[in-house]
Amino acid sequence: MMKRAGTVNPVFLLDEVDKMSMDFRGDPSSALLEVLDPEQNDTFVDHYMDIEYDLSKVMFIATANVEHPIPPALKDRMEIIQLAGYTPNEKLEIARQFLVPRQLDSHGLTEDEIRFGEDSLGHLMDSYTREAGVRNLEREIAAVCRKLARRLVEEGRVKKVKAKAKAKGKGASGDAEPAIAVDRELVGELLGKPKFRPYKKLDDSEVGVATGLAWTQAGGELLQSEVGLMKGSGKLILTGKLGDVMKESARAAMSYLRSRADGFGLEPGFHADQDLHIHVPEGAIPKDGPSAGITMASAIISSLLRVPVRGDVAMTGEITLRGKVLPVGGIKDKVLAAYRAGIFEILLPKENDKDLEEVPEEVRDKMKFHLVESMDEVLEIAFDGVVQRAPEVAAEFQKPASEAPPANVAH
C-alpha cells in the first residue's frame, strides 16, 4: 500500500475497528498496538516480508460505531473524536440531493415517473427508521422505488413516460400520465405499518410522569419516567430494564427527597408504609446512565405531592444527594430529540452550556434553555413554583383525592 501510494506519509483509514475479532488465525488488535504506538511504529516489523519499515509519518484514522468493543490497550493509543448524528434537516437534504437520485437511477426510474416530497421523506425518517445516519433511510427509499417500478411496468406506463421525455426535445407534450407523487398514504401502502412510533410530548401534564432525554446509538430520544405509589413496606421498585448506573440514580433521587422531606411538607417516615415503583416505558430496551436523575426525582416528588409535572418541558441531568445537578453527555442529540417531539423548553445542567454551541442555530433559536445547578431550580420550573411554596401549602396536595384534587398546571 505504501509503494502504491508513492509517499511515506499517506492517510490510512481503518474502518469499523470495533468489529475486529480474534480467532485461530490471529488477533489483529495486537498488530495494531505496534502500528499505532508512536514510540514503536518507526521500526515496525512486517512479519510476512520480515523487514522493518518506518510508519511514524503515516496518519491513521479509525472509525467505530461504539467504543466499548475496542480493546482498552488499543483505545489508549487513539484520540477519540465523537461525531453526532445527522439532524433531521441534514437527513432531508442528503435524501433529496443524493439518496433519491441514486435509487431512481439504480432502478431505471426518473423524476418524470416518481417524485418524493418532503412530507414522505420525513415520514420515512420518523416512522420507518431510527438511526444516527442514513443507511436504513436509503434502504426504505430503495424499497419504495422497487415496488413502484414494478407497478409502472404492470400498468404499461414506462414506455409512455420514456416517449414523453424523448418528445420534449421536439416540443411535443406527449400523452403520458403525470409522475407518481410519493406521499404518506402511498408509503404506508407500499411498506406496511410504521416500524417505529414517533416520539411526542405529553398531551397533558400528569401526576407522577416526567419527560427526560436520553442518548442512544441511534441519536437522542425522549425517556419518560413514571412513578406509582401503593401501600407497602418502604420498598423502591425499579422496572424498565434499567442498568446499574440508572438504578443508582433512582436511589440517589429517593435519598435526596427523604433528606428534604420537611421542605416538601412530608412526614419524615412518609416512605415507611408505602412502596414506590419507578418504571421507564419500553421495557424491552436496555437503559443506563446517570442523566435521568433529575427526571426521576421530579416524577417521585410529583407522585408524592400529587402535583403534575409540566408536560411541555423535557430535562436531563445527574443528581447528587445534596440536590446538585451535574453535567451529562449527548446534549446535541437530546435537544434535537425534544425539538422533533414538539418540546421547545428544556432543563439542562449549567455546565453543559458550552455544548449548546453544537446545536444547529435554526433549532437553538426556537428553543428555550434553562441552565440549572440545583434541584430547587429544576422544581421551580418543572412545577411552576408549586412545590416551593410553604410546607403547609404543599401538604394540601397530600390529602385524599376526594378532599383535594390534584393541582392542574395548564400549558
Rg (CA), the chain: 28
> Please, what is the end-to-end C-alpha distance for the chain in angstroms?
63
Take residue 409 and report the three cell numbers written for it.
398546571
Helix, strand, or coil here: 239?
A: strand
How many Cα atoms are found within 13 Å in the side-chain-facing hemisphere of 146?
7
Burial-class residue 254 by CB neighbours within 10 Å (0-12, 13-18, 19+).
middle
Q: Could you tell me which residues come within 8 angstroms of residue 4 by beta carbon, excluding any fewer than 6 positions away?
A: none
The residue from 91, 287, 332, 334 that is catalytic is: 334
Query: Measured between alpha carbons, how far is 296 from 155 in angstroms, rounded to an integer?
Result: 57
Does the active-site annotation cover 291?
yes
Helix-helix angle 135-155:118-127, to 10 degrees: 130
The residue from 127, 225, 291, 302 that is catalytic is: 291
Take residue 351 and report the three cell numbers written for it.
455546565
Please give the backbone phi and psi of residue 395, each rounded to the nearest 5 degrees, phi first.
Answer: -65, -25
Take residue 322 and report the three cell numbers written for it.
445534596
Does the active-site annotation cover 173?
no
Query: Measured between alpha carbons, how far is 142 from 103 in angstroms, rounded to an integer?
Result: 6
For the chain, what is the largest distance between any 2 Cα atoms, rounded to a whole number of angstroms? 88
Query: Measured between alpha carbons, how far is 173 from 181 in angstroms, rounded to an integer?
Result: 20
Query: Measured between alpha carbons, how far is 29 from 70 in angstroms, rounded to an integer?
Result: 9
Catalytic residues: 291, 334
